[in-house]
Amino acid sequence: DQVERAYEEITENDNFVAETFRLYFSTIHRKQMVNGYSSYFPPTYSELATVMEEFPSAASVDYIKNRKITIILVNKNQYGERWNTVQESMNRLPAIRLLKQFENINVYSIE
């Protein structure tokens, strides 16, 4: 499935497929990442994945801030029909600020 699907086809139900693309993109942008995977999943990865299931909750934003993460990229397609609700929730959180919009990706700062 990871080899056969285009990035634009990934939905909110394809978290592990999305990770493959995220790791690939990291070879281009060369920024540090808190997500990613291999054959070993450290406890911090599972913790991050669990907390981020509730994004953009206050708890998930606090988790991000506590790890000194200052930039997040959000793929709108991966939220499916929930995107408008997610975006409204992010707009209500003062710690999240939209920096740049692309076709399907929004870049936010975490303050």
What is the 3-state secondary structure of the chain?
CCCCCCHHHCCCCCHHHHHHHHHHHHHHHCCCCCCCCCCCCCHHHHHHHHHHCCCCCHHHHHHHHHCCCCEEEEEHHHHHHHHHHHHHHHHHCCCEEEEEECCCEEEEEEC
**Regarding beta strands 71-75 and 96-101, do their DSSP bridges make them parallel or antiparallel, or are they unpaired?**
unpaired
pLDDT tens digits, one per residue of 26-46: 888 888 777 766 666 778 878
Residue in the structure block whose two tokens are 């990770």: 19
Task: Give the residue, 80 or 107, on which the prediction is more confident.
Answer: 107
pLDDT tier for residue 2 given thresholds of 50, 70 and 90: low
pLDDT tens digits, one per residue of 46-89: 888 888 888 999 999 999 999 999 999 998 988 889 999 999 99
pLDDT at residue number 60: 93
Whole-structure pTM value: 0.66
Closest CA to 76 of 65, 67, 86, 66: 86
pLDDT at residue number 11: 76
Q: What is the largest CA-CA distance in the chain?
A: 39
For residue 51, what are the CA distances in angstroms to 23, 57, 106? 20, 9, 20
